[in-house]
Structure 1
Amino acid sequence: FQTAAYGMSPFIHFAPDLLRPYPVVTTFHDLRFPYLFPKAGALRSWIVRRLARASAAAIVTNDEDYAALAAHQIEATIIPIGSNIDPTGSQARPRGDSEFVIGFFGLINTSKGLDLLLESVRSLIDQGVPVKLWMIGAVAGSSDSTNLDYAKKIDAIIDRLALRPHLLQTKFLDDAGVAMYLRAADVVALPFRDGASLRRGSLMAALNCGTAIVTTAPAQPIAALDNAVLFCEPTAESLTAALHTLYADPERRIRLREAAKRAAHQFDWGQIAERTIAVFERARESQPTKESMR
């Protein structure tokens, strides 16, 4: 479940009630809200919590959402998402040996911090670093009308900072194409404004491809990312310092790549499936049978 899905209809939140006595298990990709009915205020969070409470079981993908539901006495199970980007068999994209390639992957929206990365790239270039920025599959997201405005802002920043000669923008790519670019980048930079989270598909893809990752520190510690990424603060200055550190230390980039590969094993789809089935079984066993309801 995601709030921007199902045509953003409020009626999906009442599915557990409509389908009783059959148990409904809801997996929440996240608990965030699209740009929908901005004047609805607290009603938006209430209706999402109502779906979680009415479900026979709730699954969340990250610690932040687990804590948010627990604060309202709603039980949930944490099962992280995996990545659809499979690096197996993919070849790294050819690139210049003298370039320091920074990859950015994902939809363009304000929360991704792409404007911070552009400022950092300009700073690195001014310091003499031979940067090439790959914007991999970077197109504006469609679930929020403000994304198009942000994409226009990004274009303006690129021109203001004279970054066109240092930029490669791929538009949409299939999974194999994404893996090809991610594997070839020296570093993947994901400066989320709200901090790294296991709900971020772009982060999971970068881990799965075994890349050296620079991302912003999470709101609360994520054990799965310990020593697997290099954290920075959500500022251009902090991001620049982290990227320059990895530019100057190829051995550290290698260590981060190996750590990312190890971390990715925790998000194997086979394990995710087994844990999800276990939740389904518990939900089924906890529901009254038709015979017991007679």
Structure 2
Amino acid sequence: MRIGIVSPYSWDVPGGVQFHIRDLAEHLIALGHEVSVLAPADDDTPLPPYVTSSGRAVPVPYNGSVARLNFGFLSAARVRRWLHEGAFDVIHVHEPSSPSLGLLTCWAAQGPIVATFHTSNPRSRAMIAAYPILQAALEKISARIAVSEYARRTLVEHLGGDAVVIPNGVDVRFFADAEPKTEWQGGGSAGEERGQTIGFIGRIDEPRKGLPVLMKALPKILAERPATRLLVAGRGDEADAVEDLPKEMRERVEFLGMVSDEDKARLLRSVDLYVAPNTGGESFGIILVEAMSAGAPVLASDLDAFRQVLDGGAAGELFPNEDPDALAASALRLLGDPERRAQLRELGSRHVRRFDWSVVAADILAVYETVTAGAASVAADERVGLRARFGFARD
């Protein structure tokens, strides 16, 4: 099958959606399918052979974060050229409700189109206001996928219609087989004098990722377990992150900066506890799946999406959102209970199998097969162009 996948966000600044698209593309290629990904990217960005650049992206505030999107007449022309050259059996666009390549592709293409919705935002006024513009694109979508029940709910409430829920995928073996890194490991149950390590992965300067909540909890954790270290991997201002932490405690926080996929897996294999203190805007929680795959006990805020990923709290523990005291109490209890941590490792490792790409990709392929059965291949829709979508002259 010839498959075209469209990324709404820039390949230059990796995030959950881009990782999902990358891993899906590589899994499908390994199965023998021909896959091309269209994504925003700067001219000097190294790209895998299956990725085509649609040009440079610009930062746009979106869903409580800053997304790097690519939108406009030049982008639309590149979408059309990609469609002409691809001769795809099916197009898979991501986030077509954002002002991005996904929306442009829906406007520009005709034929089997699958769309995945990642966003969970039940109060999105922008999405409601944009519905008249989005309607023509949404009507061309043959099948809809939501990565969680909460992303599906956002779609239903704001845009109408429905979607099948297929979660984000993870290469479980990649994380399970990673080698722990000695300098990132703590003493665990057999060597408490060496201290223990707590892990956090996420953008440091994005408040909804929750690092400030964890920093507020850290003094109480260190007061009882002073040898504990917090390992932080992610982009952002490190000095700002520890500004409110007592100076004598700042040395217990180690910033690793951006880490490779390999080091992310090694970090998750090394820590005694992984904490996800995210405060909102999450439709899934791929980092929780990665942590469970690596065998890390998980403590997460009780966001609806996190609760679902953690099987209602059976595969990981939850604390009340934005409550640093509750976070500290839960972390201390888990750090002091090696048997409970071992139990969480076992429960998480079993639960995470349903998110492996061998399962998730098969479900996505089933959707592709449904929409392509008896249908003509994808072609550029020459009836109307981008200018007409906004009420200008026809192209």
Q: TM-score, normalised by structure 2?
A: 0.61
Of 204, 219, 235, the residue aligned with 1:139 is: 235
Return 40-49 or 246-255, whichever deviates more: 40-49
* Whole-angstrom CA distance in 1 between matches of 2:130 and 2:303: 24
Is the 2:242–2:250 contact (alpha carbons within 8 Å) kept by the matching residues of 1? no
Report the counterpart of residue 114 of structure 2 in structure 1: 25
Give the match's secondary structure for 2:108.
helix
Q: How much has 1:218 moved relative to structure 2?
A: 2.4
Question: Counterpart of 1:69?
Answer: 155
Q: CA deviation at 1:103?
A: 0.5
The question of 1:236 aligning with 2:321 is answered no
Q: CA deviation at 1:81?
A: 0.9
Residue equivalent to 2:263: 177
Other-structure match for 1:192: 278
| 1:219 Cα offset (Å) | 2.6
CA deviation string 1:131-176 (max 9, x = no partner)? 110113x113xxxxxxx6xx66424234x45432101211122222
- Secondary structure of the 1:203 match is helix
SS in 2 for 1:163: helix
- One-letter amino acid of the structure 2 residue matched with residue 273 of structure 1: A
SS at match of 2:144: strand
Does the alignment pair 1:125 with 2:210? Answer: no
Contact 1:216–1:232 under 8 Å retained in 2: yes
3-state secondary structure, aligned to 2:200: strand
1:277 aligns with 2:277: no
Residue 196 of structure 2 is aligned to residue 100 of structure 1: yes
SS at match of 1:65: helix
* Deviation of the 1:23 alpha carbon: 1.5
Q: Measure, in 2, the Cα distance between the counterparts of 1:104 and 1:246.
A: 16
Aligned with residue 201 of structure 1, among 283, 286, 299: 286
Shift, 1:31, TM fit? 5.1
State the AA in 2 paired with 1:182.
Answer: L
- Distance change >3 Å, CA 76–CA 18, structure 1 → 2: same
Stretches of structure 1 that go unaligned for 5 or more consecutive residues are: 33-37, 141-147
1:195·1:215 contact (CA, 8 Å) conserved in 2? no
Q: CA offset at residue 231 of structure 1?
A: 0.4
What is the CA distance between 1:128 and its match in structure 2? Answer: 3.9
Decide whether aligned partners of structure 1 residues 172 and 287 sit closer, same or farther in structure 2, where only a CA change above 3 A counts. Answer: same
From 326, 333, 344, the equivalent of 1:256 is 344
SS of 1:258's equivalent in the other structure is helix
Q: What is the DSSP-based 3-state SS (H/G/I as helix, E as strand, rest coil) of the residue aligned with 1:15?
A: helix
Residue deviations 1:102-128 (CA, integer Å, cap 9, x gap): 111122211111011111111111234
The structure whose residues are more often strand, as a share, is 2
Q: Quote the sequence identity (%).
A: 21
What TM-score comes out, normalization by structure 1 length?
A: 0.81
What does the per-residue CA deviation read over 1:177-219, in whole Å, with 9 as the maximum and x for residues that have no partner?
A: 1111111111000011028752x23222112112100001123
SS in 1 for 2:244: helix
Query: How many residues matched?
Result: 273
Q: What is the aligned partner in structure 1 of residue 74 from structure 2?
A: none
The root-mean-square deviation of aligned C-alpha atoms, in Å, is 3.1
Distance 1:253 1:4, change over 3 A: same
Aligned match of 1:35: none
- Residue 102 of structure 1 aligns to a residue in which SS? strand
Larger radius of gyration: 2
Question: C-alpha separation between the residues in 2 aligned to 1:45 and 1:224?
Answer: 33
Q: Which runs of 5+ in 2 are unaligned?
A: 1-5, 11-39, 41-56, 58-68, 72-98, 188-193, 379-395
Aligned AA (2:167): P
Amino acid of the residue matched to residue 208 of structure 2? S
- 2:92 corresponding residue in structure 1: none
- Check the 8 A contact 2:112/2:377 in 1, yes or no: no
Quote the Cα distance in structure 1 between the aligned partners of 2:152 and 2:290: 22
Q: Distance in 2 between matches of 1:163 and 1:250?
A: 25
Q: Tell me, what secondary structure is at the counterpart of 1:82?
A: coil
